[in-house]
Structure 1
Amino acid sequence: MKRFWLTLRIWLATALLFAVLYAIIAVICTFLGFGTPLIFAIMSIVVVFAQYMLGPSMVERVMHVRYVSPQEAPNLHAMIDELAMNAGIPKPKVGVAETTIPNAFAFGRTKKDGRVCVTRGILNILDEEELKAVLGHEISHIRHNDMAVMTLISVVPLICYWIFISTLFGDSDSDAGVIGIVALVGYLLGQLLVLFVSRVREYYADQGSVEIGGKPHKLASALYKLVYGSVNLDKRQVKEVEGVKAFFVNDISDAHNEISDLEQLDLDMDGSISEMELAELRNMKTSIGTGSKIMELLSTHPNMVKRVKRLAELSNT
């Protein structure tokens, strides 16, 4: 049932995005005719297609990914072998990113082209079962093929943005002004909806990890450690990976804002979340700061307290 509601939310948001696009094109067609919106749409699709084709190599370059053999990383390959088999997908390529940023990420064009990578930083802070749960999260992204969904829906705010920009440099008449305002509203709404879908897919991947063998309390503990591991990152490091951080397990830029809220989850303050602590969290009332709630609306990832709380619910199923 939880899977059904997550899927429904993704498709409803996607349908709303394209309804927004349809409304904007209808307004433009009323003022300018049918040619101009089509040109914008074609240009946007070409850009997104190029991003779709070149995206994997760009991620590899930014993250300094090096693919490793089973001989080089036997434990890593063994976990991914098991999880991919449980997920019913071809085994993805296995890589290590030579960075101290503690995280993991999945990318690729299709299920057959999937790649799962871990950073050197995450290997240093997680135990084996925590790492397995994180890898299950990443493999679930490939299993759900939500990378393709994100590429598709990102077209909508892009089209709206280009239409808005074109009105700034076009004829300064009232028609252009109306179109520009409508396109700007569409862009802002579209961006919020894209971020919403991105956050929902993270919940979906968390649940997917549990379904294919990741333990809920181990994933919760891993998420907790990743936030703390991201707090003291050099700002230059974060800046270097700004363009690909949406692929990460958590939003490394928001770690400072999540720290104070997360303290309430580690009941014995030992730096991890045990199975007993996660069970207690199921019925425990948690609080989220106002700043964190606002930041979540503008983030690609859900609030970490809410994610852990949801894992507590999953641990009871």
Structure 2
Amino acid sequence: MKGTWKLKLRLWLSMAVMFGLVYVLIMLAGNFLGYRGFYGFYAIAGLFVLFLQYIFGPKIVESSMGVHYLSESEAPELHQMVAELAQAANIPKPKVGISNTMVPNAFAYGRSKRSGHVCVTKGILGLLDHDELKAVLGHEISHIKHNDMAITTVVSAIPLICYYLGFSLIFSGGGGDNNNGGGALIGFLALIAYFLGQLIVLFISRVREYYADAGSVELGCQPEKLASALYKLVYGAARIPEQEIKDVEGTKAFFLTDISNARNEINDLSQLDFNRDGVISKEELDQLKNNNVKISGSNKIMEMLSTHPDMLKRIKRLADMN
């Protein structure tokens, strides 16, 4: 995809670091502790976790979000937009669904490009205009085109391997003739690797969101329409009762925006809507291209622990594509 080689590089380098991290830990623990069959056990355990996530992941998302699939007669406009975007992305048309939650958002999931699903929430309908909704769907179609759901599944299993490795070494009380407390030390290092791995998983998740934003533009959607949609989704989520946010918080990594941080992002986003009409226009996005944005210190910290990029930085990137 044009102009996204830096995002691709970050994605693949992060994955390489993740795999290198767990490989070194397992090799170090196995060599130092003299476990027989040690490598095979964790390799099989890791593959088993990946297999379960791959097989049951889509069903878990469907169940937790209460997804209802829509026929073309139920939602002809939605189906038409998805079909046009899928054709532009050169992938099979995904199944189209809706979730009954009033939290305004959209999400995509599936095992591969051929088993993709694109869903909108009940809360997003009526909030966005046609072009804004199409830009959102373009973002979700791009997730399927990039097959980054599978990437997320793979990398999210690696910190889990570090976690179980760490606890097994710390509480096993031994592991071979060479063990003189080194097992507990390596276990402690594995838990540190688990924490670092989680941060890398979050970083990869943020990169894939930038990449999908660029993908939406690449599919012909206007940058200002996606920016305006993101702006509206943040304000829409901020108005939703906290309990309703908590009900779907477990699947927020699939959403277009970080619904948990919506209230914190509102103040920063006030820098974008210059005429206060609730929409980000092409002129406002052009003006943003030449302006520096100010991100609060708390939001910079929140971004490191979030599955999504800071919204102000994200819209600034869209301005650079405009």
Partner Cα separation in structure 2 for residue 255 and residue 77 of structure 1:
29
2:110 is aligned to: 108
Which residue, 24, 43, 49 being the options, matches 1:47? 49
Q: Shift of the alpha carbon at 1:31? A: 1.9
Deviations 1:148-173 (A, max 9, x none): 11111112111100011213431176
2:99 is aligned to: 97
Which residue, 292, 314, 317 being the options, matches 1:285? 292
Partner Cα separation in structure 2 for residue 194 and residue 99 of structure 1:
27
Q: Shift of the alpha carbon at 1:3? A: 1.3
Summarize the alignment of residues 1-317 of structure 1 with structure 2, pairs less than 5 Å apart.
2-33=3-34, 34-171=36-173, 174-315=181-322
Q: Shift of the alpha carbon at 1:216? A: 0.3
Contact 1:97-1:117 within 8 A present in 2 as well: yes
Partner Cα separation in structure 2 for residue 169 and residue 20 of structure 1:
21
Partner Cα separation in structure 1 for residue 117 and residue 47 of structure 2:
24
Q: Supply the AA of the counterpart residue of 1:184.
A: L
Runs of 4+ in 1 over 6 A off after TM superposition: none
- SS of 1:125's partner is coil
Deviations 1:190-220 (A, max 9, x none): 1111111110000000000001121100000
Deviations 1:109-130 (A, max 9, x none): 0101000000110012111110
Partner Cα separation in structure 2 for residue 257 and residue 27 of structure 1:
42
Partner Cα separation in structure 2 for residue 288 and residue 43 of structure 1:
42
Q: Supply the AA of the counterpart residue of 2:16.
A: A
Deviations 1:60-79 (A, max 9, x none): 11111111111110100010
Deviations 1:253-310 (A, max 9, x none): 0111111111101111111100100000000111000000001001010000000000
Deviations 1:13-52 (A, max 9, x none): 1011111112111220222235224312311321221121
Deviations 1:73-130 (A, max 9, x none): 0100010010000000000000011110100000000101000000110012111110
Contact 1:40-1:162 within 8 A present in 2 as well: no
Contact 1:28-1:37 within 8 A present in 2 as well: no
Q: Which moved more, 1:121-130 or 1:233-242?
A: 233-242
Contact 1:105-1:117 within 8 A present in 2 as well: yes
- SS of 2:115's partner is coil
Contact 2:230-2:257 within 8 A present in 1 as well: yes
- SS of 2:285's partner is helix
Q: Which moved more, 1:156-165 or 1:215-224?
A: 156-165
TM superposition score normalised by structure 1: 0.97
Contact 1:154-1:194 within 8 A present in 2 as well: yes
Identity %: 55
Q: Shift of the alpha carbon at 1:232? A: 2.5
Contact 2:224-2:282 within 8 A present in 1 as well: yes
Partner Cα separation in structure 1 for residue 260 and residue 196 of structure 2:
23
Q: Which moved more, 1:160-169 or 1:140-149?
A: 160-169
Partner Cα separation in structure 2 for residue 209 and residue 6 of structure 1:
15
Partner Cα separation in structure 2 for residue 284 and residue 262 of structure 1:
14
Partner Cα separation in structure 2 for residue 126 and residue 237 of structure 1:
20
Q: Which moved more, 1:146-155 or 1:108-117?
A: 146-155
Partner Cα separation in structure 2 for residue 210 and residue 306 of structure 1:
17
Gapped runs of 5+ residues in structure 2?
Answer: 175-179
Count of matched residue positions in the alignment of Structure 1 and Structure 2 = 315
Contact 1:133-1:218 within 8 A present in 2 as well: yes
Partner Cα separation in structure 2 for residue 54 and residue 156 of structure 1:
18
